[in-house]
Amino acid sequence: MTSTTSTTSIPPQDQPRVIFAGAGPGDPELLPLKTHRLIAEAQAILFAGSLVNPAVFAHCPPTADVADSAAMDLETLCDWMITRVKAGKTVLRLHTGDPSLYGAIAEQIRRLKAAGVPYEVIPGISSFLAGAALLGTELTLPGFTQTVILTRMSGRTPVPEKEALEKLAAHRATLVLFLSTGMVEKVAEACLTAYPPETPAALVYRAGWPDQQVIRGTLATLPEQVKEAGINRTALIYIGDCLQGQGEDSLLYHAAFSHGYREGHQ
């Protein structure tokens, strides 16, 4: 049997390219130093204006070519990047949170490859991590769950049937839903097929922005609370017993547990 390995080679730093970078959830301080530096040196920035906070790139040079992709279609935004790279500029493509989650980068990468334009990806802090931080909780709580499922409800982008929320809910792991705030009733309905109604549930709205909001309830109460708050977008739904903050202690710090860095004792 033969096996093949493949790595995406990062283009040399002086080669004009597209850099997909995660702009984080909104707070300009929740940005990797690397992305902060690339913004400070940027020649061209194309940002996803529907969610990226412009405060994140406020320190870019005044000479930088900056555009918002919110009103562009795929061909237009790819042409914007390709034209600039071919003219010798590096384009910083800023996506909200981390680009690998619901970032629509795959289709952009396909077009860049077809045009012979090199690219690299720099991670960012996903909104689901900023939300967990606001909730002040551990999502993988020993005794309850060791799994986090990141998913969404079907919208204009369908979710494959094998990942229907009822099927994922059957695991009773920690569930985090992106892009589903407007469907919180349906989310609760699907989850109630597996989780008891008193299961803790929360909604985190615009984590990392000055108007961020956290709503805590249960699977039974959350839809009504969200409706009352009038929130229908830019929020994440968290479901699972980990939100109540109990659970068991981990073995990692248990006095009797030995590992590579510590001898356990009775």
Point out which residues bind ligand SAH (CB under 6 A): 25-26, 51, 95-98, 101-103, 126-127, 131, 178-179, 204, 206-209, 234-236
Query: Smaller CB distance to ligand SAH: residue 31 or 236?
Result: 236
Query: Smaller CB distance to ligand SAH: residue 179 or 201?
Result: 179
Shortest reach from residue 94's CB to ligand SAH, in Å: 11
Query: Smaller CB distance to ligand SAH: residue 226 or 236?
Result: 236
Shortest reach from residue 248's CB to ligand SAH, in Å: 29
Tokens in use for 141? 């709580």
Shortest reach from residue 39's CB to ligand SAH, in Å: 18
* Alpha-carbon gap, residue 142 to 24, rounded angstroms: 28
Shortest reach from residue 265's CB to ligand SAH, in Å: 42
Shortest reach from residue 30's CB to ligand SAH, in Å: 10
222 contacts 188 by C-beta, under 8 angstroms: yes
Nearest alpha carbon to residue 11 among 85, 101, 114? 85
From first CA to last CA, the distance across the chain in angstroms is 49
Could you say which DSSP state residue 95 is in?
Answer: E
Cα angle vertex 137, ends 134, 142, to 5°?
165
Query: Smaller CB distance to ligand SAH: residue 172 or 206?
Result: 206
> Residue 39 is inside which H or E element, if any?
helix 33-40
Q: Determine how many CB atoms are found less than 10 A away from the CB of residue 20.
A: 25
Look-up of token digits 């080679």: 9
Query: Smaller CB distance to ligand SAH: residue 178 or 195?
Result: 178
Shortest reach from residue 189's CB to ligand SAH, in Å: 19
Residue, CB closest to ligand SAH: 97
Shortest reach from residue 143's CB to ligand SAH, in Å: 28
256 by DSSP, 3-state: which?
A: coil
Burial 44-53 (b: 16+ CB within 10 A, else e): bbbbbbebbb
Query: Smaller CB distance to ligand SAH: residue 51 or 67?
Result: 51
What separation in angstroms does the CA of 74 have from each of 24, 70, 84, 109?
Answer: 22, 10, 16, 11
Query: Smaller CB distance to ligand SAH: residue 44 or 176?
Result: 176
